[in-house]
Amino acid sequence: MTSFSPPVFTLPAAPVTRPDLKGTFGMVGSTHWIATASAQAVLERGGNAFDAAVAGAFVLHVVEPHLNGPGGDMTGVFVTADAPSAPRVLVGQGPAPAGATIEHYRAEGLDLVPGSGALAAAVPGSVDAWLLLLRDHGTWDLGDVLAYAIGYARDGHPLLARVSSTISLVADLFRDHWPTSAARWLPDGEVPAPGTVVTDPEYADLLDAVVAAGSTAETREEAIDLARAAWRERVGTAVEEFVRTPHRHADGGDHAGVMTAADVAGFEASYEDATTVTFRGYTVAKTGAWGQGPALLATLKILEGFDDAALDPSTELGAHTILEAQKLALADRDVWYGDPAADDVPLTYLLSEDYAARRRAVITDAASREVRPGEVPGHPTPPVPPLRTEYATSAPAGSLPGAPTGGAAAGVGEPTVPVSTSSTREPVVEPVETPDHTGATRGDTCHIDVVDRWGNMVSATPSGGWLQSSPTVPGLGFCLGTRLQMTWLDEASPSALVPGRRPRTTLTPTLVLRDGEPVIALGSPGGDQQDQWQLLFLLRVLVGGYTPQQAIDAPALHTTSFPGSFWPRTWTPGGAVVEDRLGDDVIAALVRRGHVVTRAGDWALGRLSAVTRDPATGLLGAAANPRGAQGYAAGR
């Protein structure tokens, strides 16, 4: 990584909120200290980065249930010590069920896939993906890896204040419409207070049964495959039986789900080669166009043609240039990206030097308030998604928690910046993860990064299946996710709802390589903002010479000038959300350029974590986000 060059980038603030950890043994960064500690414990006992990541991920299911769950999804990007120059993607994104057709949803009176309820659920993919990674690249037995999560589920863990506040916001929904969730999260009818030791015995029993399913196997790999089969059978049967009963969805109506046991049984996680571009001598690895990851790559290629001084997010010029480049890349994402198993996404062209130069030329000194996808020779341009600045449902007043006009329902979305009272994309001015004034709350995401002393490195973003996303499934102890809300009920869209097709997920971990060796793994929760916040980190570290912790601490910003990926899928033309620490002068200058600026507070945007590796010395590092006082890094 580069050394710091003061004349080019704004000096980083001093001191950092937390130290840049350094060591040679192993490093972990994640969005919850218990998950970080559990993963580090695996490293201390001789496990590798993959053993540690899987252990930490299952703990995240337990300790951050408002941010992810076993019924959700995940994506990961990793390299092994044996093949350090070949980044691979772990695909834990399940597809739409066989019954999830546009015709069926329209027959239900819907014009959007709801943001909560079983109709929004893709086939659960997270657990099978983690078990696949453990089978192929880990070293530990499954029971030892899952012991941490089973222990916290059975014996309890202290409830986060944010979990308690999330439950309080959806308590009436649970009591009135989702009785299984009320039984799970409202013991004695009351919201558990922060710090209460809570358990999930059903989930602990399920994990015990999954481990036991492999007890007759002759090899470790066979045991894990038997466990995967047991998971699919138990989960599929329970889900099919439960979702047959109509229940409240985000649109204010009651609908039955369409997922069956056959849908669950038919999904197996997989691997694929990462999509990569080069930037300033580094190789950046992301998912394919079934995720939003290539939008970060496209933004980097657009920005690569500017001088370093135009890439500093802490300046007027840098912030403006970054926001405008992101708008162009996200416009292409929303028009061109989709599951490549079903559509021919012209990704090579969209990430090419020539195309980046053409897109770069579109940027002016003034903020754009348009959605401007580019043209691809030989390909008709798909339609731009509907551009709504607000969205009202047909639900009567009071039928959804805190939504006076039937606006935002509990459990929708993923971004850490909540929607305002009008259900527009303009955020309120409260800190990250604070619910909006309507009482609506959004789900979010987790993240974990691990590097070990052998050179294995993994970055993964689990999400979905938030406690507020759909009713708790009896016998499982968790609920389904809502990733199908990222699809459109429009046959012409590359992201159309189609049975068997993956929704275009926002989950987007990142791996950075230099000279064929991994040097950084990073990621963040935040829905559409995930890659936007990671971009700031990459620019500050790779160009500005910041340390990882300096980059995580630095003031953040992002654009909202595109249709959101989450229900109700609205946008703010020219919208830019900034942390106040960006400074009054820079913020005022952005307004003069035409940006519609929302101040989010001093410490509101971004929840990044990262681990690093210096191939020349073997020195490892880690850094974590101070916002929310929840994420943590550990290592030695």
pLDDT of residue 186: 96
pLDDT of residue 436: 31
pLDDT of residue 393: 54
pLDDT of residue 430: 28
pLDDT of residue 342: 52
For residue 289, pLDDT over 70 is answered with yes
CA-closest candidate to residue 74, choices 82, 83, 84, 64: 64
pLDDT of residue 341: 60
Element holding 185 (H helix, E strand): helix 179-185
pLDDT of residue 259: 98
pLDDT of residue 316: 98
Q: What is the mean pLDDT of residues 268-288?
A: 97
- The pLDDT tens digits of the residues spanning 249-271 come to 999 999 999 999 999 999 999 99
More confident position, 582 or 444: 582
Q: What is the mean pLDDT of residues 104-125?
A: 96
How many whole angstroms separate alpha carbon 283 and alpha carbon 510?
A: 11
What does pTM read for this prediction?
A: 0.92
Q: What is the mean pLDDT of residues 548-554?
A: 98
- The pLDDT tens digits of the residues spanning 135-179 come to 999 999 999 999 999 999 999 999 999 999 999 999 999 999 999
For residue 344, pLDDT over 80 is answered with no
Q: For the chain, give the percent of residues with pLDDT over 70.
A: 90
For residue 23, pLDDT over 70 is answered with yes
pLDDT of residue 406: 34
Angle at 529 between CA 110 and CA 450, to 5 degrees: 115
Residue type for 135, please? Answer: R
For residue 421, pLDDT over 50 is answered with no
- Quick count: other Cβ atoms within 10 Å of Cβ 311? 27
pLDDT of residue 7: 56
Q: How much is the mean pLDDT over the chain?
A: 90
Name every residue whose Cβ is closer than 8 Å to that of residue 556 and which is 6 or more positions away in sequence.
313, 533, 536, 578, 579, 604, 605, 606
How many whole angstroms separate alpha carbon 484 and alpha carbon 496?
A: 10
Q: What is the mean pLDDT of residues 186-207?
A: 96
Q: What is the mean pLDDT of residues 101-110?
A: 97
Q: Does residue 427 contact residue 11 with C-beta atoms inside 8 Å?
A: no
- The pLDDT tens digits of the residues spanning 445-477 come to 899 999 999 999 999 999 999 999 999 999 999
pLDDT of residue 412: 53
When pLDDT is cut at 50, 70 and 90, the band that residue 345 belongs to is confident
Radius of gyration of the chain from Cα atoms?
Answer: 22
